[in-house]
Amino acid sequence: MATGYAELFCFSNFTFLTGASHPHELAERALELGYNAIAITDACSVAGIPRAWAALKDSPVKLITGSWFELNDAPSSSIAPRFILLAKDRQGYAQLCKLITTGRRRAEKGRYQLFARDIETHELDRCFCLWLPPSTEHATLPQTIACGEWLLRLFEQRLRVAASRSLEVGEELQLARIRELADHLRIPVVATGEVHMHSRDRQPLQDVLTALRNHKTLENAGHCLFQNGERYLRPLSVLQKLFPESWIRETIQIANACQFEPGSLRYEYPPDLVPSGETPAGLLKRLTQEGERRRYPSGTPLKVQALIRKELGLISEMKYEHYFLTIHDIVAFARSQGILCQGRGSAANSAVCYCLGITEVNPTKVELLFERFISKDRNEPPDIDVDFEHQRREEVIQYIYQRYGRERAALAATVIRYRPRSAIRDVGKALGFDAALVEKLLDGIDWRDKSTNWHQQILDKGLTQNPQMANQFFTLVNTLLGFPRHLSQHVGGFVISAGPLSELVPVENAAMQDRTVIQWDKDDLESLGLMKVDVLALGMLTAIRKALELISTEKGTPFTIQDIPQEDPDTYAMLQKGDSIGVFQVESRAQINMLPRLKPETYYDLVIEVAIVRPGPIQGDMVHPYLRRKHGLEPVEFPNDAIRQVLERTLGVPIFQEQVIKLAMVAAGFSAGEADKLRRAMAAWKSHGDLTPFRDKLISGMLERGHNQDFAERLYQQICGFGGYGFPESHAASFALLVYVSAWIKRHHPAAFYCALLNSQPMGFYSPSQLVQDARRHDVTVLPPDVNFSQWEHTLEGPTHQLRLGLRIVQGLSRHGGQRIYENRPRQGYRSASELRTGASLNQRDMELLAGANAMAGFTADRHQAYWQLLDYEEPSALFAQETETDYQSEPCKQLPQPTEGQNVLADYRSQGLTLQRHPLALLREQGHLQHCLTAEQLRTTRPGIPVQVAGLVTGRQRPGSAAGVTFVTLEDETGNVNVVVWLATARQQRKPLLTARLLHVKGVIEKEGDIVHVMAGKLSDLSHLINTLPVSSRDFH
């Protein structure tokens, strides 16, 4: 009788569209069944290993790391072999990773390509090879033997023949052949389950995946599907019946010989940064001291000195010097190139990071304790995200590749998983549902409408009348949810290693050219304790850098972030009014509404402002208590000192993610480990996590400790709200700094502010048109694009800093053409269209775009005539090129009408997306189309509670997840924006105008809260047709 079993052949769902179980499901099932070991052997991949490992950590079941391969060619006179490689030890693991990398790097994203030659040339002496001989139908015996002999030469006594019992037709022949091969080659046979799923119940899903892989429906998939559902993890008793004892014994022997343990992977820091003769700790200390002299020219305050000592002690205790040095190196590179950057996240806002220049958050200004961010108990690597200017981040990425080489630096993967939409679509496809019906169904589902779940919605829509089919459909979709679909690149998480990265984890190609990703995502890295550096892109940093440059030019001396005075009352006064369009983070409508309520007066208020308008605090109903306490309408109380410590800075109301976790510990008695689990569950909640197990523990824990039920429930709601959108204080602190900097620039240098924002597009919430209107409301003069004045970028002109729109605003204009216009411009300017055409060597398309933009105002009567002139042009043939270069001004065409104001406005919008002439709404109002409608400005002085009518261009429709069923519509008129609130019932009744109108008319009731004005919508009407009548009716009017 054999004593157990080791499964050595398992596809998890990381073999996309093949495996029908998650790695952890396989792992857990192996544990239940009492297997000795289980190998996860995905196709040319180890992507599933970390998840299986996390599930088997501290369990008696051993996890074996392996991978399945099918070669693209055949060794001579045989056929392309399929086999599994299992890593015997760390070295074998490195060999495996290297082979996978070779195969993956050679092929396009998501595929691999390996040849017999690769197996011959790669060192694989620390791997077992389980050969999967071809079926008797597919290869003759001599071919099969040739294949076996080839493998035997390469793997010698590490080669086994794998046998499986799927009970399919032809199996007896195959088993006979396997015995024959084993005898002939004198190698042992090993039993495998050829596992595609952890349990037989997954057969339907496996069939669905197979059908999808083959682009078929189940009905016509035929023999692509397996004949039965036997490829699952079978109970030991069944295995013992199916396999000879010796074959089973062999599995255990191999498992015993495989000693590699993923947990043993340790990150080895790149040693490059430490010059010889210096220790990492010494170097970090030296760099910190240099930074101190820069940050505190008149001497480091004692408090900061103590902090730095403490932090350095902690860093060296945890051996994190290399991490800080790596980040410092990247940041120093960015500095040297004049690229603005700002670190955030745990450990970023420390005194050491401030001195190293990783962050601008001054530790003397904020009391952020470093210890809170590096947890000694958790033994987790610190996490610092660094934001760079979005237009220049690529330079930083290229630097990293250059500095460490592609062998040692790669991006972390992001696992793209099945979401309800994609799962429904794919299962529908496999079941042969009509694609149009499925789309109809998907469109009919109101994903935000939480009151009915989508299951019910599907039934209501009657996709299928067959209830059995409907049940199957639901089960399949539900199981498929969260399955990985493919690996994509993480937004900026870099893994940098000491040795070749491909010995640590396989590297594969990303969709983007010249990008490579590793096979693990950030959760995998975290669970294995590997470190990554986040290099992220932030548009606002680009805008700030550009604004600072403009201010420097204006002042005639360099002006940097450090020169911005701190805690400027004018800046806070502006923010308190909600005047924040363009300001980082607080420019959304919700934030604009919050600013006058929160009335930020200090930097720390901004930290809270950034974090409070988030699903977490909103769902936890923490916003109102905080505001009441801040404005002294409610006493600030703490149940006990422990809680006081956690919540003092936020007046007893939990706002940040860290506080919630901490509260779970001090108020509900969670252990550090449990709190950590809670944190992970929160992060994963949106995709596939489940928080309900924590609910009871949290609430009963809090009740036991004398907190009331209501507070406990709210805290739990807040935890749910944080799921996926968690916003920690450490990030808010860094963001708040950029909020302040951008707000200060807006308040004191508006022209530079808008100019920089416009030059950094696309970014932020608002379109150039909205930014330009806001600029004009702030008394910035904006001038139109003109071939005789504009550069490519927007610029500031003259002593009054007028904002001259650059030629880049002309949609479709070629960049090179636009630049030549500026570079080749004669001193006295262009005098005719033909001079412009030849001088800047512009093509017809660019010329037409310039005419459409009315950018030739200096020498053409209007855009119609400019265009008429341009049309009389033929590409000069080379022979007559000289002759046609005459400077000739063509006669204006009498038959062409002069453009009306309305036509000009529309043409401006078409060409630039904005107009500097009157707002279309002003024209319509003048024409008498909008009688009884109040402007945004008039609304401000209108009494609340009375019925009003408003109209405007629809610039935004939003349905925030945190506000059930409400749609917020923003209307723009010539005086500003009108905020319209549409309740669910109203929205349902008037879907058409709500969804399609470009120009919307609203009858409603005005409501006010402080300075915030809303119109509660009643009747909506679509006035979009008026836009098209603009040119006609204005001609009639004049």
Partner 1 sequence: MLWLYLHFPHLLLDHIQRNQDATGALVIVDGSGQAVTQACATAQELGVEVGMRLKTALGLAPDLHIMQANPKQEVWLLEDQARWLYHYAAHITLAPPDGLWAEVSSLQKLYGGLPAIWQTLEQALTERQLTAWIAIGHTPQTARLLALTGKGECTDDKGRIMTALGNLPLQAAGFDKKACSRLQRLGLSTLADVFALPAPELARRLSPELLSTVQKIQGTRADPKTPWQPPHTFRHRADFIQEVEHTQGLLFSLQRILSELEEDLCWRQQDTDTLQISLQHRHQESTRLLIRTTGPEHRAEVFLKLIRLKLDQQPLSAPVTALTLTVKRFAGRAAPTGQDLLGESQDLNEAWHTLISRLQARLGDQALKQLAPSEDHRPECAWSANAVRKPTKQPETEPAPLPHRPLWLLKGPQSLDQTPTHWLSGPERISSGWWDGQRVHRDYYIAQLPGGELAWVFRDHQDGWFIHGWFG
Looking at beta carbons only, is 226 or 296 nearer to partner 1? Answer: 226
Q: Could you tell me if 729 and 778 are in contact, meaning their C-beta atoms sit under 8 angstroms apart? A: no
- Using the minimum distance from each CB to partner 1, give the nearer residue, 444 or 673: 444
Out of 811, 996, 998, 1010, which residue is the one contacting partner 1 (CB under 8 A)?
Answer: 996
Find the shortest distance in angstroms from Cβ 890 to partner 1.
Answer: 10
How far apart are CB 220 and partner 1 at their closest, in Å? 7
Q: Which of 101, 150, 152, 94 is nearest to 126 (CA)?
A: 94
Choice between 220 and 337, CB closer to partner 1? 220
Residue 995 contacts partner 1 per CB under 8 A:
yes
650 forms part of the interface with partner 1 (CB under 8 A): no
Handedness of CA 826, 828, 833, 835 (dihedral sign): negative
Integer Cα distance of 530 and 55 in angstroms: 18
Rounded to 5°, the CA angle 497-501-506 comes to 145
Residues 6+ apart with CB under 8 A from 570: 747, 748
Select from 429-437, 613-621, 645-653, 951-959 the region that touches partner 1 (CB under 8 A).
Answer: 429-437
Residues 809-868 that bind partner 1 (CB under 8 A): 848, 851-852, 863-864, 867-868
**Contacting range for partner 1; rule: CB under 8 A; set: 437-445, 514-522, 669-677, 687-695:** 437-445
Contact (Cβ atoms closer than 8 angstroms) between residue 97 and residue 502: yes
DSSP letter for each residue of 941-978: TSPTTSEEEEEEEEEEEE--TTSTT-EEEEEEETTEEE
| Nearest distance, CB of residue 995 and partner 1, angstroms | 6
DSSP element (H, E) containing 709: helix 709-722
14 sits near partner 1 (criterion: CB under 8 A): no
Cis peptide before 762 (omega within 30 of 0): yes
785 touching partner 1, by CB under 8 A: no
Sorted by sequence, the CB contacts under 8 Å of residue 765 that are 6+ apart come out as 581, 587, 588
How far apart are alpha carbons 497 and 408 in whole angstroms?
5
Rule CB under 8 A: choose which of 872, 937, 1009, 1036 binds partner 1. 872
Smaller CB separation from partner 1, 571 or 911: 911
Q: Which of 77, 140, 220, 989 binds partner 1 (CB under 8 A)?
A: 220
Give dist(CA 764, CA 588) in Å, integer: 9
- Between vectors from CA 428 to CA 422 and to CA 434, what angle results, nearest 5°? 120
> Of 365-394, which residues contact partner 1 (CB under 8 A)?
none
By beta-carbon proximity to partner 1, the closer residue of 219 and 290 is 219
Beta strand segments in 770-847, E: 782-783, 795-797, 802-804
Bridge partners of 1022?
A: 1000
968 binds partner 1 (CB under 8 A): no
**In the complex, what is the shortest distance from the CB of residue 973 to partner 1, in angstroms, rounded to a whole number?**
24
> Nearer Cβ to partner 1, position 250 or 426?
426
Shortest gap between Cβ of 416 and partner 1 (angstroms)?
22
Q: How far apart are CA 855 and CA 851, in angstroms?
A: 6
Q: Give, as ranges, the residues between 975 and 994 that touch partner 1 (CB under 8 A).
A: 991-992
Shortest Å distance, C-beta 444 to partner 1: 5
CA 277 to chain centroid: 41
Indicate the DSSP class of residue 135: P
Give burial (CB, 10 Å; 0-12/13-18/19+) of 180: middle
Compute and round to an integer the Cα radius of gyration of the chain. 34
Residues touching partner 1: how many (CB under 8 A)? 57
Which token pair is 612? 């409070």
Tell the smallest beta-carbon distance from residue 329 to partner 1 (Å). Answer: 48
Binding mask 154-193 for partner 1 (x = CB under 8 A): ------------xxxxxxx---------------------
Strands 516-521 and 507-509: antiparallel
Regarding 907 and contact with partner 1 (CB under 8 A), the answer is yes
529 binds partner 1 (CB under 8 A): no
Site for partner 1 in 223-282 (CB under 8 A): 223, 225, 227-230
- Min. distance of Cβ 391 from partner 1 in angstroms? 32
Q: In degrees to the nearest 10, what's the CA dihedral of 121, 122, 125, 127?
A: -130
Out of 76, 215, 237, 436, name the contact with partner 1 by CB under 8 A.
436
Q: Which stretch binds partner 1 (CB under 8 A): 29-37, 79-87, 220-228, 576-584?
A: 220-228
Instruction: Report the nearest approach of partner 1 to the CB of residue 1005 (Å).
Output: 25
Q: How far is the CB of 440 from partner 1 (least distance, A)?
A: 6
Q: Which residue among 1, 3, 137, 799 contacts partner 1 (CB under 8 A)? A: 137
Nearest to 132 by CA among 183, 180, 192: 192
Give the angle 1034-1037-1038 at the CA atoms, nearest 5°.
Answer: 95
What tokens appear for 620 in the block?
Answer: 């936890």
Among 34, 60, 263, 444, binds partner 1 (CB under 8 A): 444
> Please, which residue, 257 or 995, has the CB nearer to partner 1?
995
Binding status of residue 875 toward partner 1 by CB under 8 A: no
Confirm or reject binding of residue 463 to partner 1 (CB under 8 A): no
Q: Let me know: does 609 contact 739? Beta carbons within 8 Å.
A: yes
Least Å from the CB of residue 1027 to partner 1 = 15
The answer to the question of residue 708 lying near partner 1 (CB under 8 A) is no
HSE-CB at 247 with a 13 A cutoff on CA atoms is 23
Is 779 or 874 the residue whose CB approaches partner 1 more closely? 874
In angstroms, the CA 478 to CA 423 distance is: 8
Where on the chain is the footprint of partner 1 (CB under 8 A)?
137, 166-172, 203-204, 207, 218-223, 225, 227-230, 431-432, 434-436, 439-440, 443-444, 461, 468, 472, 848, 851-852, 863-864, 867-868, 871-872, 893, 895-899, 903, 907, 991-992, 995-996, 1031-1032
